[in-house]
């Protein structure tokens, strides 16, 4: 489908917020679970320039590493909502 990818950490309320929106919109996505230890999140830093999660990748729309849950939720609503 869209090739969405989401980098998350288990138990992260911000990640859960984004996953809830993805589910609400019926979007398929690949979930990447990252380490709870920030300095071990090199893959997240390479994608987004920082080590926080969640991080969304949407190659279909040129999003290479969007951070901040509120920004991601707004983006998903604008791009994939009705």
- pLDDT digits over 34-76, tens only? 988 877 888 888 889 888 999 999 999 999 999 999 999 999 9
Residue 23 has pLDDT above 50, yes or no: yes
Quick one: pLDDT at residue 1? Answer: 47
> How far from chain centre, in Å, is Cα 45?
13
Position 17 scores a pLDDT of 98
User: Mean of the pLDDT values across residues 4-21?
Assistant: 96
Is residue 4 scored above 60 in pLDDT? Answer: yes
pTM of the model: 0.91
Phi, psi (rounded to 5 degrees) for 37? -90, 115
For residues 44 and 28, give the distance between their C-alpha atoms in angstroms, rounded to a whole number: 20
For strand 29-33 and strand 55-58, is the pairing parallel, antiparallel, or unpaired?
Answer: unpaired
Pairing of strands 4-8, 55-58: antiparallel
Q: H/E element holding 4?
A: strand 4-8
Looking at per-residue pLDDT, the higher value among 82 and 56 belongs to 56
List the CATH code of the domain at 4-80.
3.40.30.10
């Amino acid at each position: 489908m869209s090739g969405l990818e989401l980098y998350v950490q288990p138990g992260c309320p911000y990640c859960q917020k984004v996953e809830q929106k993805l589910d609400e919109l019926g979007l398929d996505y690949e979930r990447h679970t990252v380490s709870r230890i920030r300095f071990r999140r090199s893959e997240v830093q390479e994608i987004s320039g920082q080590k926080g999660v969640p991080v969304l990748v949407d190659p279909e729309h040129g999003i290479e590493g969007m951070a901040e849950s509120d920004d991601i939720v707004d983006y998903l609503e604008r791009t994939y909502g009705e």
